Structure 1
Amino acid sequence: MKVQRWGITLPLTGIPLAAHRELVRELQGLGYTDVWSAETAGTDAFTPLALTSEWAPGLRLGTAIAPVYTRGPGLLAMQAATIAELAPGRFVLGVGTSTPTIVTGWNAVPFTDPYARARDTLRFLRAALVGDKVSEDYPTFAVSKFRLERPPTPPPPILLAALRPGMLRLAAREADGAITNWLAPGDVPQVRAELGAAGELVARVFVCPTEDAEAARGLGRMLISSYLTVPVYAAFHDWLGRGEVLAPMHAAWAAGDRAGANAAIPDSVVDDLIVHGPVEYCRERVAAYLEAGLDTPVISVLPTGADPLELVRSLAP
């Protein structure tokens, strides 16, 4: 029987990593099945999962995502193997290209040919994580005589961060599924159609549990203008059919008018992409992603002024 998954993004914003211990120990009893980490400018993607593997040995763990540029291929395989050893059969390695800001601006690595780099990394990881000795000149990097000392048993599934058809089809061919974000329940079938039925589809869902709709939409607008003006996300929402409605936001942003860009985002777009309202409604809205064909919703709790630890408890299924 297929498990109905209900994930949470950890660590929570503003909460020290060590302060998550008691909450993590409660998660499985609350009905959560998964903990997924992220990697931007806070914790790295792997350390929170190492702690979670000890604090809550029954949860599935995943990275969403570990960038393919910011670690060498061998180090990426080593870190994945470490978590897979700590959580055998319960770890999913999510990788992706990330963005030029993170890769080049923060890590001084050229962001070149992202599709090919993702493809080559998937092929390397497939071989390395089953214990093969890898010597290969891939189109975007070369590896000589790399072999893991302790390949994990079983090797973890690998998911690829993907938005538009090209990456989604790559995920279908070379990975075990795809990770996406910034989509509404109604967008899931379009994404699923490109991935196919076989691969796991994971999405981060931004949830702001508050009855103050004005505050939730204000926060939502700031996040949407920050993310959806990035070219890859702009192209994603063009593909999803929001190009025309988001055009005024893009025009204001390009002119340097940040306030105008926020104001140009319609309430309907915010309500599509940010789950907000009473806790009961938020749970129903997250469940709507499952009904639309998502396999694993991963809640990302947005700040409301309430205790984020209590919000996680309240959003449990």
Structure 2
Amino acid sequence: MTAPEPLPAPAPASTSVPAVLYPLQPDHPELVAPFAELVARTDARRLWLCQSFRSEPHQVLAYLAGLGHTVPVGTAVTLLPLRHPYEAALQARSLALLTGRPVVAGYGIGTPEFAHGLTPQPYRSPRTAVGEYVTSVRALLDGESVAHDGPYHRLHAALPPVGPHAPVEVGAGVLRPGMAHTAGATADVAITWMTPPDYLRDTLVPRLAAGAAEAGRATRPRVATAVHVAVRRPGRDPRRLAQAAAGTHLCAPHYADMLRRAGVDVDGPDPATQLLRADVVVTGTPDEIAATLAGYRAAGVDEILLNPTAVLLTEGVHAAVTDLEEIVTACRSSGRSAAGSTGRSAAPASGRVRSVL
């Protein structure tokens, strides 16, 4: 089956302009609308949602598109035990059709306990499960008829053809070197959370490149990294914000292990301070935050997801959106300044977008 050409992609955004993440599980899509409005108003890179067990993220994004909030979107990440790869590809393509804007469809395993609760037996190899899943979704989106009989899914089908639509990239959640190698071989985007810039530069990005090279791919996947941010304001305690932002994840074994590998002391008496020192949680003025985020880009990150969890939980939507808008503005300004100082335009976003069905 031949895949029709996708719609022409919009002009790429500067890599200095971050994306926006809505990090909670909304009871109703309208709770996310202020963040979609922010993306449209500021021309931020994309609106990302994480897995939600209240309002399902694909349906939230479709609802927002129906309200007129047609912005680039992404999922970081939805959990692959919830849906077959065929359904995953159909949902991702549907978002591209409904929004008319580029989509990043990201997938991950979740915790072993969650996966085992939905599958006949535990994933003996999460890397194999993710690699096969991402490969099948990508092939379906490319218009291929897939014949796959593996340990984690069976698929003998193709998506029916549709007209032109915006491009879809397929992402994989990555925290540790093994999954980075797998994502390098299979994914369009590697999606990371709370990964310090030094760890990205020295560990994950090289493993992504190695996986891509071993698979005969010309380039490694793009890297999209969610970073906790909060603007310094009177009455805000950075340590308290760091704890609010990351406390839940510190209790998750896979996140704690990743941070230990990155040299962050999450087991000591003051993990919040360690997170701040490692730039896992970034605070300061908007310009200071923009300067720190430039370090993430220097480490190999192609798309930064601004994660306002701390302010959203402690002060609410208005305060979180205000922070995000100021940070996006500062990042854009710093990107223009950097481009001006070198006499050239800011680096474009990666053009590594596959043709899709």
* Alignment check: 8 A CA contact 2:226 2:305 kept: yes
Match of 1:221 in 2: 243
Q: 1:207 aligns with which of 229, 235, 242?
A: 229
Match of 2:36 in 1: 24
Paired residues in the alignment total: 298
Match of 1:182 in 2: 194
Report the AA paired with residue 240 of structure 1: A
| Residues 213, 168 of structure 1: alpha-carbon distance in 2 compared, 3 angstrom cutoff | farther
- Aligned-partner Cα distance in 2 for 1:19–1:138: 39
Structure 1 residue matching 2:304: 3-state secondary structure = strand
Give CA deviations for 1:46-88 in whole Å, capped at 9, x if unaligned.
123324445343x321111111111122221211121122245
- Aligned-partner Cα distance in 2 for 1:237–1:171: 19
TM-superposed deviation, 1:26: 4.5
Answering whether residue 289 of structure 2 is matched by residue 282 of structure 1, we say yes
* Alignment check: 8 A CA contact 1:130 1:155 kept: no
Report the AA paired with residue 103 of structure 1: A
TM-superposed deviation, 1:163: 1.5
- Aligned-partner Cα distance in 1 for 2:244–2:122: 26
Unaligned runs of 5+ in 1: 249-262
Structure 2 residue matching 1:192: 3-state secondary structure = helix
TM-superposed deviation, 1:295: 0.5
- For residues 73-92 of structure 1, what are the structure 2 equivalents within 5 Å? 73-88=85-100, 90-92=102-104
- For residues 127-138 of structure 1, what are the structure 2 equivalents within 5 Å? 127-138=139-150
Q: Using structure 2 for the length normalisation, give the TM-score.
A: 0.73
Structure 2 residue matching 1:132: 3-state secondary structure = coil
User: Relative contact order (alpha carbons < 8 A, sep ≥ 6): 1 or 2 greater?
Assistant: 2
Q: 1:149 aligns with which of 154, 160, 173?
A: 160
- Aligned-partner Cα distance in 1 for 2:26–2:186: 36
- Aligned-partner Cα distance in 1 for 2:37–2:110: 30
Give CA deviations for 1:183-237 in whole Å, capped at 9, x if unaligned.
2233331222221263200001111223368733124235544323422223312
Match of 2:338 in 1: none
* Alignment check: 8 A CA contact 2:29 2:64 kept: no
Q: 2:276 aligns with which of 270, 275, 280?
A: 270
TM-superposed deviation, 1:16: 4.8
Give CA deviations for 1:286-315 in whole Å, capped at 9, x if unaligned.
333223321100011122426233333222
Q: CA RMSD in A?
A: 2.9
- Aligned-partner Cα distance in 2 for 1:108–1:49: 27
* Alignment check: 8 A CA contact 1:209 1:278 kept: yes
Percent of aligned positions that are identical: 21
| Residues 195, 13 of structure 1: alpha-carbon distance in 2 compared, 3 angstrom cutoff | same
Unaligned runs of 5+ in 2: 1-11, 210-218, 330-357
Q: Using structure 1 for the length normalisation, give the TM-score.
A: 0.81
Q: 2:255 aligns with which of 233, 236, 240?
A: 233
- Aligned-partner Cα distance in 2 for 1:114–1:212: 45
* Alignment check: 8 A CA contact 2:75 2:106 kept: yes
TM-superposed deviation, 1:178: 0.5
Report the AA paired with residue 94 of structure 2: T
- Aligned-partner Cα distance in 2 for 1:234–1:114: 18
Q: 1:297 aligns with which of 304, 315, 318?
A: 304
Report the AA paired with residue 275 of structure 1: V
- Aligned-partner Cα distance in 2 for 1:276–1:123: 38
- For residues 14-163 of structure 1, what are the structure 2 equivalents within 5 Å? 16-21=28-33, 24-53=36-65, 55-57=68-70, 59-88=71-100, 90-104=102-116, 110-112=121-123, 113-144=125-156, 146-150=157-161, 153=165, 156-163=168-175
* Alignment check: 8 A CA contact 2:34 2:321 kept: no
TM-superposed deviation, 1:111: 4.1
Structure 2 residue matching 1:178: 3-state secondary structure = strand
